[in-house]
């Protein structure tokens, strides 16, 4: 998946999940610093996956792109996560691979909010959110950045009737529970999610 990434304006979002705590006064600086870091990581992952997809598509077309998304993209995502000491992944409301791409409740809430903001006319490149979140296991910084579908994406994620017979068959074989079709260039395809544990603070 590729998206047009350009400098973004941080958007403060009110959170509704019960696991979310209001940021402490000392969180503001942390959120700003961590948001800048998360943007860099999201762009890095996007560029790596987009580069692999572009290269393989030029060599072998759609069928090879499906292989890249299934095998290479998760490997790149894991490598970026290890490198930056965070949980980085690509999520969506309509997963192709439910085991990897299904959004959790925090991510779902923001993806739905992104869709509403997009419907109101906001550019996908500006759709992002960040917060400090208290969960049972630990306190986390969380960030999510929308991904925009481009022409390469819709070769495998486009409307069903626009996909070649070979592409439809390969998708059915590789992803029997696929819900990630029906997109058009310019749609929000999903998001890159970044989650990093924060050091414990004294009471």
pLDDT, residue 19, reads: 42
Residues in the chain where the model's pLDDT stays below 50: 1-25
pLDDT, residue 202, reads: 53
pLDDT, residue 201, reads: 66
Rounded to 5 degrees, φ, ψ at 20 are -95, 130
Q: Nearest Cα to 92, choosing from 179, 153, 34?
A: 179
Over residues 140-191, the pLDDT tens digits come to 999 999 999 999 999 999 999 999 999 999 999 999 999 999 999 999 999 9
Please name the CATH architecture into which domain 27-197 falls. Answer: 2-Layer Sandwich (3.30)
């Amino acid at each position: 998946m590729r998206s047009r990434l350009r400098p973004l304006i941080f958007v403060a979002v009110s959170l509704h999940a019960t696991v979310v705590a209001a940021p402490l006064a000392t969180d503001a600086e942390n959120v700003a610093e961590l948001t800048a870091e998360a943007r860099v990581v999201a762009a890095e992952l996007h560029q790596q996956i987009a580069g692999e997809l572009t290269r393989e598509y030029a060599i072998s077309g759609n069928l090879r792109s499906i292989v890249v998304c299934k095998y290479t993209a998760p490997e790149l995502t894991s490598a970026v996560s290890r490198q930056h000491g965070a949980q980085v992944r690509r999520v969506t409301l309509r997963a192709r691979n439910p085991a990897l791409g299904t959004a959790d409740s925090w991510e779902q809430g923001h993806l739905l909010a992104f869709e509403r903001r997009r419907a109101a006319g906001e550019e996908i490149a500006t759709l992002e959110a960040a917060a400090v979140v208290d969960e049972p296991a630990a306190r986390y910084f969380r960030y999510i950045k929308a991904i925009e579908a481009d022409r390469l994406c819709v070769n495998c994620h486009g409307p069903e009737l626009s996909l070649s017979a070979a592409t439809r068959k390969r998708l059915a074989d590789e992803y029997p529970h696929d819900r990630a079709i029906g997109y058009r260039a310019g749609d929000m395809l999903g998001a890159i999610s970044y989650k990093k544990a924060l050091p414990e603070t004294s009471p």
